[in-house]
Amino acid sequence: MTRPTSLTELARRILESAERIEGKVDGEVDGKHARQDLVEAVREMQLSTTGPSELLEQHQMHYQSLSCLGWLIHFNIFTHVPVDLTPIAYTDLAAAAQVPLARLQSVARMAMTSSLFAEPAPTHIAHSALSASFAADPHLRHWARFMTSYSAPTAAAFAEATARWGETTAKNETAYNVAFGTSLPFFAHVKESPGMAELFAAYMRSQGQSEGGRLTHLVDGFDWGGLDEGAQVVDVGGSTGQASIALAAAYPGLHFTVQDLPETIASAPAALSALPAPVAARLRFAAHDFFAPQPAPQSGRAPDIYLLRKILHDWPVARARDILDRLAVALRDGGNPRARLVVMDTILPPPGAVGRLQEAGLRVRDLTMAQSFNSKERELAEWEELFASAEPKLRLRAWKQPYGSTMAVMEVGLDGCD
């Protein structure tokens, strides 16, 4: 990608994108494309006019804004402010949230520089349209709580972890271990920490609400409708079944088995009880560790698809290969010669191949994997190499990057079986 260096060219892009969004040009207006073009151009303009001291000042603003977001979430400020945009006195809000008045005003006024909240009078605060979204949507609050309570402290400990352990793939030698003073790997620590398993599950569900992580990208990113009536899909490491639920709702001819560890599967009845009966009837949950061999089919029909959504990126190469080995054996010995894997994970682009803002989002995912799991996001050649290293050997048959998705959908089968 050739990045523009002319401020005039960037200004022209900003104007053209704004006009497309406002419908001032002829033809169909693709709102998502126009909005992304606008955001990318604005970001490029900002970077082109930023000097080194300004960059540091911006980083100071960012980490203080993040600190304020964590404070607002911790004290439930979003839900204490009337969601109908009616102002509330700072004194009343401080009393309701049981926080010091001066601290509340300092935090809120910093948050306002990020368009969170408004101050219609010096003595009152009200929701902005943006902060009202956090009040109305618990998924956003779960996302913010996990990010400020766990992700940010983990990132801050990254340098210390590297200094302590250097080049390592051990799951308990990570920035997360430094940040939270534990010798347990991430998921073991989640299991042992009261309330954290529920928060992590809520955070994972919230990711399905983000533009880049929407489940519609999975629903539309593979030819699910081309599977036979009654086809069996095994959702490997499927948590509480959010991906399978979305697919089951969209494709009434498919049946799903959601596999995860026993403590996760224990919440399955609650997930099923909230679903329409025709969807719930085609879902079952089964306790299974994906490092163990796949169990024999219980339905009488061998699985057609093994789905792995956001699974392999959690693991360094050797452990990811162990997961794939078990699934490759299941493909070979399962009795269905057309069975295959559908892997939904990030494919990192070469540096500079996409817009800076899009690339930054992908690099965030890559660093998150390193900091919590000593893993990484992978480039296309690394995915091909990983699949080929499985025993029996697998091959990437095809892949698709749905528009707006942070992840690609990869179709993988046994090498030599078409």
Alpha-carbon gap, residue 218 to 410, rounded angstroms? 10
The strand pair at 347-348 and 378-379 is best described as parallel
SS3 state at 189: helix
SS3 state at 183: coil
CA separation (Å) from 191 to 47, 185, 310, 385, 397?
42, 10, 19, 32, 36
Alpha-carbon gap, residue 76 to 104, rounded angstroms? 12
Q: Which residues are CB-contacts of 177 (< 8 A; sequence separation ≥ 6)?
A: 161, 183, 184
- The catalytic site residues sit at 313
Q: For residue 269, with 0-12 CB atoms within 10 Å meaning exposed, 13-18 middle and 19 or more buried, which class applies?
A: exposed
SS3 content of the chain, % helix, strand, coil (to 5): 50, 15, 35
Strand partners, 409: 344, 400
